[in-house]
Structure 1
Amino acid sequence: MTSMTAGRSDAALAAGFDTLARLLALTLGPARRVVLNDTGGGTAEGLADAATVARRVTALPEREATAGAALLREAVRTVVGRHGDGGATTAVLTAAIVRHARRMVAAGASPVLVRDGIRAAVRCAADALKGQASPVAGPDDLSGLVSAAGGDRALAASVGELVDVLGPEGAVVVEESVRPGVTHDYVDGSRWPARPAAPELLSGGGMFGGSHTELTLVDPAVVVADVVLDDPAQVIPILEAVRALPDRPPLLLVAQDVTGGAATTCLLNDRRGLVVTAPVVLTTAGVRRGEDLADLALLTGATVLSPEYGRPPERFVPAYVGRVRRAVVRSGHLSVAGGGGDRRAVTDLAARLRTRAWELGDGAEATTRTAERMWLRQARLLGRVGAVQVGANTEAEREDRLRTARRAVRLARTALRDGVVAGGGVAYLDCVDAVRAARAECADPDRAAGMEAVAAGLEAPFLRLVANAGRREPRVALAAVRALGPGHGVDVRTDRYLPIREAGVLDVAGVAVAALEAAGATAGVLVSASVVTGRG
């Protein structure tokens, strides 16, 4: 490859990166701009989320430009996939570091040594960020960081209150509401998605007949079957065993499905007053249903029935029965409270699930969904689940708000683990002195140049937030907060200079560190790209 060809390739790579970086920068902060994406046919969609914008930009006119955009897109995808936020911050930091580093390379600095300086400065700044982190003080802190990330104060208030009450082991389920606005509630006990079994058989006057929309069972016996029950021979031993119990409790029968002759037998027993029976089907999909049935059995002290375990329903014995204080069966879910299972076994499983969820949550995006599933399971076992219901006037607004809500829940939970730092770009500003002190001790001028690129880049999130708000000249605002001292910033919602933490403007420490580290790694690749492309 000739030097002229390599130069054109390097320039196209940088141009592709810059194109996507400019778009993503517009989405930073509560005063973020909307990026219009042409969907064809004379229509366009408005995008205000960095991760969504990055996914949409998949190709540019030149192949090398597409590769440059892909480098940034991968960095954004990684940070958002692992932490739920930080995509726009990653783009802004990366672009600023690369811009300053390019100038130094153009002036004759070694790209490789500049890259090494970038890495050293990022480590220094990351350590400074971690040193700034403090524990979440309460619902106001949680609401502040959620509001700063998404700009939705009603949603921020609901998520902040839920996460604060539920604690670091809690889970918040995001649900779609048909009515505009945001509401929230706490689940009493543990809840699984479920439906009454064979409703066509039950509608003729059984427990779910008429206008009844739910059934409450007090102190029921619980039987859990990881099998389809369709034969009377499968349920008769269960009904006889429950009927023989001293207090003749109602029966909560939870299975893969209850249909055919088995459902008819349950219905006849219920109508004759022999055993009040609520056959229920968990609607969890695939292998997850088996996990949920096992969790329910552990929580209630039941033993899962399955031929695979050597416990077919036909050979049911009373020792397989579990108990709960109360069960509520509705068309959409099953709730239980006061399970009679071994409490130590329940808490031990919850602890294992929680540990594994944190491990997977710090991995690739593909494992994040598994981590979320494990987190919900452990919270459900502990009875620490809440729900936030999100609605809007249009489908597009509702989808956007649902995405924001899910991101907010992850942010709030991560904040409980990692702590918070000052938002509004102030935490990065307060790392600049540490980086420049380290640069002053660096003997190699080219490495020092890379460190200075990071020091300058740390100002970029603050400058972009102010620019997106459109009320002040960013550099003037930067000079003003520098004069006020560490911890000061601009609350772009009120356009005031103040100690930014006092305004409740916070960022999750873990997300701030991850964005910086991803920016440093991507900037290093781009800065040294001329070395790579120059090798034929």
Structure 2
Amino acid sequence: MKLSVLALTAVLSVCSVSGFGGLGAPPALHRRGDVSLNAKTVSFREQSRKKLVEGINAVADAVRVTLGPKGRNVVLERNYGAPEIVNDGVTIAREISLADPEQNVGARLVQEVASKSDNKAGDGTTTSTIMTKEIVNQGMRAVTSGVSPVGLNIGIRKTARIISDEIRDIAKPVKSVDDLRAIATIASGSVDMGRIIASAFEKVGETGSTVVEESQTLIDEVEFTEGLTIDRGYISPYMVKDDERQIAELVNPKVLVTDAKIDNVNEIVPLLEQLVKSKDPIILIAEDITGDALSALVVNKMRGVLDVVAIKAPGFGVRRKEYLQDIAIATGATYVAEEVGVTLDSVTLDMLGTAERIVVAKESTTIVTDGKQADAIRARIAQIRKQAETAETDFDKDKAVERVASLGGGIARIKVGAATETELKDKKLRYEDALNSVKSAQELGIVPGGGACLACLQLSLEQKIFDAMETDDQKQGAIIMLKSIVAPCMQVAENAGIEGAVVCSKIQQGYEENGVSRK
């Protein structure tokens, strides 16, 4: 069983920052709707701490049962449509809202921890939630006994940094398809899903992209198409269409590619009027979009007048222009720039590019091309390779190689089939979790999973961590963090019906080196 280093270090980072953060004595403020829209109740000390802990524990207890290969599923009730079956920590956490407003403050703190872990690594949300519960509960007991919350917080952060550094040092790179398959299988909980994801990554390589789509059949399959990925996401979160996945997905959209900075809506009004009539979705790729231009796009998006997403162009200076020209060629768009004699107010629909599908996330955009520009893309790749051969600096050569990889990497489309909508949503979430795990593993490597890595580090780093603490209060923070990092291992075992303390003890003694067996 293997775990990605990016996910594990992200967990330690968000837990050390958000898991305690000085909750020792501050008041908890919450709205009381029965008094006034702006009225709040302020509670202090023991009452405040008790309610916060109850809210944190409520969310953590709902999430922790999903951890590991033997973890359970959770059913989410919907006001409309069928219930949803999930085992994704952050999805479950986001659904929880407690009736008691003070407890709900604690619940929202844990939701923030899970969301940060999800944003940083796309994985580890359940682990971070479990560790947060342990840190907060132990921290509250320490504060009640007279330990300074400031010293505790410093000790927790120092310990997290030492553990994170050690994890990076012992990580092993992903070397084979078997490694990818193992990671994907564990993350998804399915051998078949692991096989499909591994085949997708093997085909497109590290330079390609993999997206998850719905299929019209009952089986899961992989299709490979041409396309490219941009390391830029949507400018405004109001352009998100899927709140749960935090993405905007456009089917058969038009594509505008320009090096202009759009801040005056009048520059694009003629084009927007044409798009409203044609009812085509549109993605705008520009140097930047600000001011009343951005406001107009957001308002029209929210009102349903126009399906639009705006992103900033990747790169800077000359590099930006090169990337924009690559995108224009890949989509068949006319490159809109004053230097080539084309201005924004003169753009017509036939000058826009096309794509089969575009998926825009917070920090990346995946363009699935429709195949019409295959010859143009190959010619562009050949041109860039010649530029790489004649590049005067290593930097220029590296950037040219990056552009070739972006244009030629291809896209694997995992089409998910299911008999019901509930099953389909569950499978899509599991595929996306597994994809994030594999990407994280490719970036920083892997360590033994099942909580085994953290359990072993508890013993091996104990003295080093204690030596780094400057005060007794900091040492108490270190003790809390060291105790909390074995919680995931114990939870994995308990979810499998095994005594957690016994399993962790055996792992620490060296009887199991690769985590808890799936069986």
TM-score, normalised by the number of residues in structure 1: 0.60
- In structure 2, the residue matched to 1:85 is 123
Of 411, 414, 425, the match for 1:388? 414
Partner of 2:76: 37
**What is aligned with 2:423?**
397
Alignment of 1:171-320 (within 5 A): 171-187=209-225, 189-190=226-227, 286-287=309-310, 294-295=325-326, 297-298=328-329, 304=335, 309-311=340-342
Aligned to 2:199: 161
User: How much does 1:66 deviate?
Assistant: 1.0
The match for 2:479 among 444, 452, 455 is 452
Relative to structure 1, the CA distance from residue 353 to residue 162 in structure 2 (aligned partners, 3 Å threshold; closer, same or farther) is farther
Q: Is the 1:30–1:147 Cα contact (8 Å) retained in structure 2?
A: no
Residue 302 of structure 1, CA deviation:
9.3
2:228, 2:410 within 8 Å by CA — same for their partners in 1? no
Per the alignment, residue 7 of structure 1 pairs with 46
Q: Does the C-alpha gap of structure 1 residues 5 and 458 become closer, same or farther in structure 2, counting only changes over 3 Å?
A: closer
Partner of 2:453: 427
Letter of the 1:295 partner, please give it.
D
Deviates most, 106-115 or 5-14: 106-115
Structure 1 position 114, deviation (Å): 1.8
The question of 1:410 aligning with 2:436 is answered yes
* CA distance in 2: counterparts of 1:431 and 1:105, whole angstroms: 26
Partners of 2:452 and 2:256 in 1: CA distance: 55
Distance 1:452 1:435, change over 3 A: farther
1:343 to 356, 374, 384: 384
Instruction: Tell me the distance in 2 between the aligned counterparts of 1:225 and 1:477.
Output: 57
The whole-number CA distance in structure 1 between the counterparts of 2:401 and 2:55 is: 40
* Residue 64 of structure 1: aligned partner: 102
- Check if 1:103 corresponds to 2:144: no
TM-superposition CA deviations, 1:362-415 (whole Å, max 9, x none): xxxxxxxxxxxxxxx986512432222211121111122122223322322222
Cα separation, 2, equivalents of 1:67 and 1:158: 41
Code of the residue aligned with 1:394 in structure 2: it is T
CA drift of 1:290 comes to: 10
| Kept after mapping to 2: 8 A contact 1:439/1:452 | no
Query: Which position in structure 2 is the counterpart of 1:201?
Result: none
**1:467-513: CA deviations, max 9, x gaps?**
1122x11122222223335724321x21xxxxxxxxxxxxxxxxxxx
Residue 95 of structure 2 aligns with an amino acid whose one-letter code is R
**What residue number does 1:487 align with?**
513
| 305 and 65 in structure 1: CA distance in 2 versus 1, 3 angstrom threshold | closer
Q: Report the residue type matching 1:65 in the other structure.
A: Q
Partner of 1:465: 492
Give the Cα–Cα distance (whole angstroms) in 1 for the partners of residues 508 and 312 of structure 2: 56
Provide the C-alpha distance between the structure 2 equivalents of 1:47 and 1:349, rounded to a whole number of angstroms. Answer: 46
1:145 correspondence with 2:158? no
Taking the aligned partners of 2:81 and 2:409, their CA distance within structure 1 comes to: 50
2:509 counterpart SS class = helix
Q: CA deviation at 1:109?
A: 2.2
Partner of 2:516, secondary structure, is: strand
How far does the alpha carbon of each residue in 1:410-438 deviate from its partner, in whole angstroms, 9 at most, with x for none? 32222211111111111111221244113
Tell me: CA distance 1:344–1:110, structure 2 relative to 1, closer, same or farther (3 Å).
same
In the alignment, does 2:463 pair up with 1:437? Answer: yes
Distance 1:105 1:288, change over 3 A: closer
- CA shift, 1:27, in A, is 1.9
What is residue 47 of structure 1 aligned with on the other side?
86
Whole-angstrom distance in 2 between the partners of 1:76 and 1:459: 18
Distance 1:354 1:173, change over 3 A: farther
Aligned-partner Cα distance in 1 for 2:470–2:311? 57
Say if 1:346 and 1:161 are closer, same or farther in 2 by CA, change over 3 A. farther
On the 8 A contact 2:156/2:477 being kept in 1, the answer is: yes
Q: Name which one, 1 or 2, has greater alpha-carbon Rg.
A: 1
Separation in 2, partners of 1:383, 1:445: 54
Amino acid in the other structure paired with 1:446: D
Task: Give the whole-Å Cα distance in 2 for the aligned partners of 1:64 and 1:302.
Answer: 54
Partner amino acid, structure 1, of 2:59 = L
Q: Secondary structure at the match of 2:374?
A: strand
Give the Å deviation of 1:351. 6.9
- Residues 7-50 of structure 1, C-alpha deviations (whole Å, 9 max, x = no match): 11111011111111111112222222122334469985433211
Counterparts in 2 of 1:181 and 1:300: CA distance versus 1, 3 Å: closer
Alignment match, 1:502 = none
> In the alignment, residue 473 of structure 2 is paired with which amino acid?
D
Q: 1:133 aligns to what? A: 171
1:25 aligns with 2:51: no
What letter is aligned with 2:416?
Answer: V
> 3-state SS of the aligned residue for 2:175?
coil
How is 1:316-335 mapped onto 2 (pairs within 5 angstroms)?
Answer: 334=372
- Check conservation: 2:71, 2:496, Cα contact below 8 A: yes
The residue that corresponds to 2:266 in the other structure is: none
The change in CA–CA distance for 1:437 and 1:181 in structure 2 (over 3 A counts) is farther
Distance 1:308 1:439, change over 3 A: closer
Whether contact under 8 Å (1:113, 1:446) holds in the other structure is: yes
Could you tell me which residue of structure 2 aligns to residue 232 of structure 1? Answer: none
Q: 1:133 to 1:73 in 2, by over 3 A?
A: same
2:155 is aligned, of 117, 124, 148, to 117
Instruction: Report the Cα distance in structure 1 between the residues aligned to 2:422 and 2:404, rounded to whole angstroms.
Output: 32
1:132 is displaced (CA, Å) by 1.7
Question: Residues 293 and 334 of structure 1: is their aligned pair in 2 closer, same or farther, counting only changes over 3 Å?
Answer: farther
State the alpha-carbon separation in 2 of the partners of residues 4 and 135 from structure 1.
Answer: 50
Q: Using the alignment, how far apart are the partners of 1:295 and 1:165 within structure 2?
A: 22
1:213 alignment counterpart? none
Name the SS for the 2:220 alignment partner.
strand
- CA distance in 1: counterparts of 2:460 and 2:76, whole angstroms: 40
Question: Structure 2 CA distance, aligned partners of 1:225 and 1:123?
Answer: 44
1:426 maps to amino acid: A
Unaligned 5+ residue runs, structure 1? 193-223, 228-255, 261-283, 321-329, 356-376, 495-536
Query: Could you say if the C-alpha distance between residues 345 and 119 of structure 1 is closer, same or farther in structure 2, counting changes exceeding 3 Å?
Result: farther
Question: Whole-Å Cα distance in 2 between the matches of residues 297 and 5 of structure 1?
Answer: 59
Aligned partners of 1:182 and 1:388 also within 8 Å: yes
- Distance in 2, matches of 1:225 and 1:110, equals 57
Q: Contact conserved, 1:132 with 1:427, CA < 8 A, in 2?
A: no
Equivalent residues of 2:196, 2:222 under 8 A apart: yes
Task: Report the counterpart of residue 16 of structure 1 in structure 2.
Answer: 55
Instruction: Answer yes or no: is the 8 Å Cα contact 1:148–1:423 preserved in 2.
Output: no
Question: How big is the shift at 1:305?
Answer: 7.2
Cα distance in 1 for partners of 2:118, 2:130 equals 14
